[in-house]
Chains A and B, each alone.
Chain A
Amino acid sequence: MLAQIRSEMQKITSVRTTWVFLVATAGFVALMVGVQAATAGSEFVPPLDDPGTQLALLQTGSIAPLIAIVFGCLAVTTELRHHTIVATLLVEPDRVRVLGAKVVATAVAGAVLATVAVGLAVGGTLAILALTSTPVLVANVEVAASAAGTVGGAALGAVFGLGVGGIVRNQALAVGTVLVLLLAIEPLIGTLVPETATWMPASLIALLGGAESPDQYAWWLLAAALAGYAAVATVGAALTLRRADIT
């Protein structure tokens, strides 16, 4: 199994797409930190010495789990699209084991993506505060919890995306499905049945990343719920791939 995981990690690191994702995420986070800092203290945005503004800046990396979902989706559908799944299964015919290795490798990749995003957001924010001689007003423990939640959310999100990709199989359709699910269906269900809103994937990711909520659920409960989505999607992918004829 270790060999398969290493092989999956090599797949991830040997294509440009991975680095494009990483650079694009880092660029987006840097840009957002810069924009938020530049607009702080304007008519509609509280100044930099406001704890809320600082927290928002520090949590800019919380976008990473959503990007990780798309990344996970691509991790499996790219194999199917380029038929590299044939070579993969000829070396390791146990499809569940292959999927298991992909789950581990994709989760690691999602966590790394989020770590870079969080690191950049926190580092950038602290640098801006230092440069403007603004005291840090957010507790370390709050920043750490938000960072850990974002990294964990990204790992689970990547696995969720992997599962959806494995079920749908067609790359464009899989990415489209994930985006529609998170950006259209989830808000719709949240509006129609408000009591379920907290327990939808994007909402869970946001809460793990430190978003404020009137309900104070324990982080482990939120993580367990997100892990449940990832597990269901992965089992669905396993059932689909086990039955599929690779033609």
Chain B
Amino acid sequence: MTELHIDHLTKRFGQTLAVDDLSFTVRPGVVTGFLGPNGAGKSTTMRALLGLITPTSGTATFEGRHYRELDEPARQVGSLLEADAFHPGRSGRAHLRILATSARLPRHRVDEVLELVGLSDAADRSAGGYSLGMRQRLGLAAALLGEPQVLILDEPANGLDPQGVRWLRDLLRHRAQHGATVLVSSHLLAEVALIAEQVVVIHEGRLLTHDRVDAITNAAEGATVLVRTPQGTELLAALTAAGAQISGNDDNGRLLVHALDAPAIGRIARLENIELHELTPQATSLEDAFLKMTS
């Protein structure tokens, strides 16, 4: 059960500030999504955590221990940073055997993870001929090789077919339920909404929010409710007087009401004796919330 601690992490590449005083904690037992637009600093944060880049200041540790200080990093942490990190002339099996040898893992683990990710049939082909989805599966196989309790995956669903995405989602949830610490970055925001319970959102290297996925979507939702009524003018006046903001007022009597929730709108309509044909809270996707936060 390992927590990941990002503590006042700052990384500067020349004049570019990639990560700016970033702090958050990733807890075991849940899948944590790591969101941010391109260039937000997600990969830099993950690489700092994995000891591949040196922070300008701050720390990124596994409960206070740097990656290089872990006793057997491949058995403790599994990571996927880029799908193309293999020699194109080497077979998938050879790639994994090399890693298994270095990590002193038994050779049968290679066959097991190849089976797990569905690459057994293609294992002896040159990895250079793999599709993007197969490369991603090879990367995931490498991450799972040491049966680690911590998974750090950068865009793992990228290139996977819908079946593969579902498999990945089930795998990560299963691992988390058994106490693993799982940090998954993605641009597939809808996918993160399905996989993750917690989400860390960063923008321009800074933390925007760290909360439960549903809390973020609810907060961003701002109680937008679709209302349909044959008495649009009267309802508009009543809701505006109650402090609501109205948008999307159309000829079909549909109003998009902000800043008042559905029960409040229903009460006002009843008091004003206004007939309602529809009263639907609008679910805001994580994507909308994310775009709202980073815009």
Residues of A within 8 A of B (CB): 3-4, 6-7, 10-11, 14-17, 78, 82-84, 86-94, 243, 245-247
Contacts of B85 in A (CB 8 A): 82-84, 86-87
**Closest chain B CB from A242 CB (angstroms):** 10
Can you list, as one digit per residue, whether each of B59-101 has a CB less than 8 Å from chain A (1) or not (0)? Answer: 0000000011010011001010110111111110011011101
The contact sample of 28 A-B pairs, CB cut-off 8 A, is A3-B103, A7-B98, A7-B99, A10-B94, A14-B97, A14-B98, A16-B89, A82-B84, A82-B88, A83-B85, A84-B86, A84-B95, A86-B82, A86-B85, A87-B86, A87-B142, A89-B51, A89-B52, A90-B52, A90-B73, A91-B99, A91-B102, A91-B103, A92-B73, A93-B70, A245-B53, A245-B54, A247-B44
Which of A14, A86, A90, A246 lies in contact with B74, CB distance below 8 A? Answer: A90
Can you list, as one digit per residue, whether each of B222-260 has a CB less than 8 Å from chain A (1) or not (0)? Answer: 000000000000000000000000000000000000000
**Any A CB within 8 A of the CB of B104:** yes
**Any A CB within 8 A of the CB of B206:** no
A3 (CB) vs chain B CBs: closest residue: B104
Known A-B contacts A4-B102, A246-B52, A246-B53; the reply to A91 vs B74 at CB < 8 A is yes
Contacts of A89 in B (CB 8 A): 51-52
B18 (CB) vs chain A CBs: closest residue: A247
In the bound complex, what is the Cα–Cα distance between A90 and B101 (angstroms)? Answer: 13
**Any A CB within 8 A of the CB of B50:** yes
Which of B51, B98, B104 lies in contact with A93, CB distance below 8 A? Answer: B51
In the bound complex, what is the Cα–Cα distance between A4 and B74 (angstroms)? Answer: 13
In the bound complex, what is the Cα–Cα distance between A93 and B52 (angstroms)? Answer: 8
Contacts of A17 in B (CB 8 A): 89
Which of B84, B94, B98, B99 lies in contact with A83, CB distance below 8 A? Answer: B84
Contacts of B51 in A (CB 8 A): 89, 93
Contacts of B86 in A (CB 8 A): 82, 84, 87
Contacts of A6 in B (CB 8 A): 101-102
In the bound complex, what is the Cα–Cα distance between A93 and B85 (angstroms)? Answer: 16
In the bound complex, what is the Cα–Cα distance between A87 and B101 (angstroms)? Answer: 12
A11 (CB) vs chain B CBs: closest residue: B98
**Any A CB within 8 A of the CB of B166:** no
In the bound complex, what is the Cα–Cα distance between A175 and B114 (angstroms)? Answer: 36
In the bound complex, what is the Cα–Cα distance between A247 and B39 (angstroms)? Answer: 13
Contacts of A4 in B (CB 8 A): 102
Which of A78, A87, A245 lies in contact with B99, CB distance below 8 A? Answer: A87
Q: Are A93 and B73 in contact (CB under 8 A)?
A: yes
In the bound complex, what is the Cα–Cα distance between A3 and B106 (angstroms)? Answer: 12
Can you list, as one digit per residue, whether each of B126-143 has a CB less than 8 Å from chain A (1) or not (0)? Answer: 000000000000000010
Q: Are A3 and B101 in contact (CB under 8 A)?
A: yes
